[in-house]
């Protein structure tokens, strides 16, 4: 049996899947954790990702010798800076590090939100790599002077496997210095970073590969460390959301809502988007098209926190949420516990509205789930306002999609059936799909042969008043935003069509 390996290097862990190239059947899995990283200063040593990858591959056992190709998908936006020997100069600043919010605001003020949207398809917020590099210039000039290469998390792992400094258009589109419509770096945007001229920054960036290009081959050193066969092809890799779209076999117009540490809502598009409000990031995808995306910082960590507050475990919290009616008896939670990216309110905190003496513990459990989901569904409206088609099927993925409460709440708040794909790790599956291209298969052939996108459909509860639930959430979110001074790009107005990745 010929296998391909797909790697998902997320904020919390590295997951590996080995799949049969003909059928897509899962042959082996591995998983290893990453060090904890908590906002506002969220950082990890990139070498910990490599060690986690080595451990996860080791768990796959002897099937590794059957792997004919491999690809890496990783958390977007993280800033990895390397010296001349390709060693990390400092811990990577991750997507959910919000310390660069002032730098993002200054970049937008200096260049203008409309100009940013036209130049790179997105208006920078704290999560974008360009804001993090600007922060580094202002706070750690000694490190800046030693930077020889700049990489994203998936680029770093691809480099460890192949020895090549490359990236793909999907992940590059989340940096803030890549023109998504034209397909090139913008040295004029890099000029805004400071520290050195834009052209010098340009020279430190990885080569951008096409979605189906070969990044390189597994080196002898990487083979010795990982157990992968020396010389097998390594795909270009991509960002986690782009890989998930591949893993679900999404078609133009299809939508995905991903519930993990963060939440994302995105749609496959054949045309680029440019949203000057900052709500929608106009990313490229990993199949030659585009992936406009809205990201929220707060997703499953919110319900984990609420479970802790009211003394329940995850399963008990889900059961409690499902015992409360749609609308949570009037209780509404605005889940900005980590600050928020869409709307762009990094200093915000969570809020509860509509409580009275009849509010029960189950209502709080339901309100937490509804708050997370409604924020992302409002993001779908922002996608539509930016010109993306959202007429296809809604897919629910990520760790939260395993929760019976999140599944039902998503269907209730959407007011239509929601597909929960069979593939539990859509990002790792998507990386497998990308790797399979280097064994002579086309994406459409893989989608059909592997049955990508198959899953269960969850129906909304009868009698759920979708309009009332969504309106109640919007009123609460507007009140919460009004209590916090917004950051210039992606203010409360920009997010509340309503709603936002990195």
CA distance 327 to 99: 35
The full DSSP string for 350-410 is: -EEES--TT--HHHHHHHHHHHHHHHHHHHHHHHHHTT----S-EEEESGGGG-HHHHHHH
Helix axes 300-309, 361-385, angle to 10 degrees: 170
Q: Which two tokens stand for residue 461?
A: 């509860």
Q: Which residues pair with 208 in a beta bridge?
A: 167
CA distance 226 to 5: 12
Taking the alpha carbons of 188, 191, 197, 202 in that order, is the dihedral positive or negative?
negative
Give, for 80, the enclosing helix (H) or strand (E). strand 80-82
Give, for 155, the enclosing helix (H) or strand (E). helix 153-162
| β pairing state of 67-74 and 238-239 | parallel
- Cα distances (angstroms) measured from residue 357 to each of 330, 361, 371: 11, 11, 21
CB 70 within 8 A of CB 4: yes
Which entry of 240, 275, 363, 412 is annotated as an active-site residue? 240
Q: Which two tokens stand for residue 237?
A: 């890799």
CA distance 338 to 29: 31
The full DSSP string for 173-235 is: TTSSSEETTTTEE-HHHHHTT-SS-HHHHHHTSPEEEPTT-EEEE--HHHHHHH-PPTT-EEE
- Tokens 């974008």 label which residue? 128
Helix axes 314-323, 404-414, angle to 10 degrees: 30
- Tokens 């010296």 label which residue? 83
CA distance 369 to 468: 16
188 catalytic? Reply is: no
Name 457's Cβ contacts closer than 8 Å, sequence gap at least 6.
417, 418, 419, 420
Q: Which active-site residues does the annotation give?
A: 240
């Amino acid at each position: 049996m010929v296998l391909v390996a797909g790697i998902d290097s997320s904020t919390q862990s590295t997951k590996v899947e080995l799949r049969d190239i003909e059928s897509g059947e899962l042959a082996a899995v591995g998983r290893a954790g990453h060090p904890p990283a908590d906002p506002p200063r969220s950082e990890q040593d990139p070498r910990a990702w490599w060690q986690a990858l080595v451990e996860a591959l080791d768990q796959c056992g002897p099937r590794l010798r059957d792997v004919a190709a491999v690809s890496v998908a990783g958390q977007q936006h993280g800033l990895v800076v390397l010296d001349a020997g390709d060693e990390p100069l400092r811990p990577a600043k991750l997507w959910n590090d919000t310390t660069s919010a002032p730098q993002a605001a200054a970049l937008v003020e200096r260049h203008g939100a409309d100009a940013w949207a036209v130049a790179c398809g997105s208006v920078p917020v704290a999560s974008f790599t360009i804001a993090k590099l600007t922060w580094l210039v202002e706070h750690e000039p000694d490190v800046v002077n030693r930077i020889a290469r700049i990489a994203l998390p998936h680029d770093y792992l691809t480099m460890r496997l192949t020895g090549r400094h490359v990236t793909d258009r999907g992940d590059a589109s989340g940096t803030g210095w890549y023109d998504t419509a034209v397909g090139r770096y913008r040295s004029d945007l890099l000029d805004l970073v400071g520290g050195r001229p834009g052209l010098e920054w340009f020279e430190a960036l990885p080569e951008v590969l096409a979605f189906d290009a070969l990044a390189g081959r597994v080196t002898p050193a990487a083979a010795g460390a990982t157990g992968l066969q020396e010389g097998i092809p390594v795909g270009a890799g991509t960002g986690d959301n782009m890989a998930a779209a591949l893993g679900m076999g999404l078609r133009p117009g299809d939508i995905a809502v991903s519930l993990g540490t963060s939440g994302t809502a995105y749609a496959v598009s054949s045309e680029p988007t440019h949203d000057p409000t900052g709500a929608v990031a106009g990313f490229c995808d990993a199949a030659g098209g585009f992936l406009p995306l809205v990201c929220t910082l707060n997703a499953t960590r919110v319900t984990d926190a609420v479970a802790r507050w009211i003394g329940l475990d995850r399963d008990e919290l889900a059961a409690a949420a499902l015992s409360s009616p749609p609308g949570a008896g009037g209780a509404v939670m605005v889940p900005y516990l980590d600050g928020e990216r869409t709307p762009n309110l990094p200093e915000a905190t969570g809020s509860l509205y509509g409580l009275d003496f009849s509010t029960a513990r189950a209502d709080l459990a339901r309100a937490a789930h509804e708050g997370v989901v409604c924020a992302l569904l409002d993001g779908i409206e922002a996608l539509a306002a930016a010109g993306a088609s959202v007429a296809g099927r809604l897919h629910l993925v990520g760790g939260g999609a395993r929760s019976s409460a999140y599944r039902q709440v998503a269907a209730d708040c959407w007011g239509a059936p929601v597909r929960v794909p069979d593939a539990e790790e859509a990002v790792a599956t998507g990386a497998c799909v990308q790797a399979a291209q280097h064994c002579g298969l086309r994406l459409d052939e893989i989608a059909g042969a592997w049955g990508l996108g198959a899953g269960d459909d969850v129906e909304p509860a009868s009698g759920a008043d979708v309009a009332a639930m969504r309106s109640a959430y919007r009123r609460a979110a507007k009140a919460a935003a009004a209590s916090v001074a917004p950051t210039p790009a992606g203010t409360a107005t920009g997010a509340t069509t309503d709603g936002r990745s990195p």
